[in-house]
Amino acid sequence: MTDTLFTKIINRELPADIVYEDDEALVFRDINPQAPVHLLVIPKKVIPKLSDSTAEDQQLLGHLLLVANKVAEQEGLENFRLNINNGADAGQTVFHLHIHVLGGRSFSWPPG
């Protein structure tokens, strides 16, 4: 599998404004923010899309949600939106599973 932008960030081959890291996850600020706070939570394990995850990934997926909550709290967000795009037609541009943590402004529904 070809390295993605995100695997290069994990491997420190590309710079990123990293706000959190543990053995399973990395969180950094989006370079094209869509809100005052826009973080990306990624697993260090390469999973191209959420639909590519398996039962084996259950604990990791739960961990990513807990990390998203933790970094939202670190950023002082009481209200925030989490978003996962699955596939190109859903807006996914980097094929390495990631959770967008967006906050610092009001959001409307439905999105996009």
SS3 59: helix
How many whole angstroms separate alpha carbon 54 and alpha carbon 110? 29
> CA distances (Å), 16 to each of 13, 57, 78, 105, 110, in order?
10, 25, 25, 23, 30
Instruction: Given the residues 38, 63, 96, 98, select the one marked as catalytic.
Output: 98
Is 98 considered catalytic here? yes
Active site residues: 98
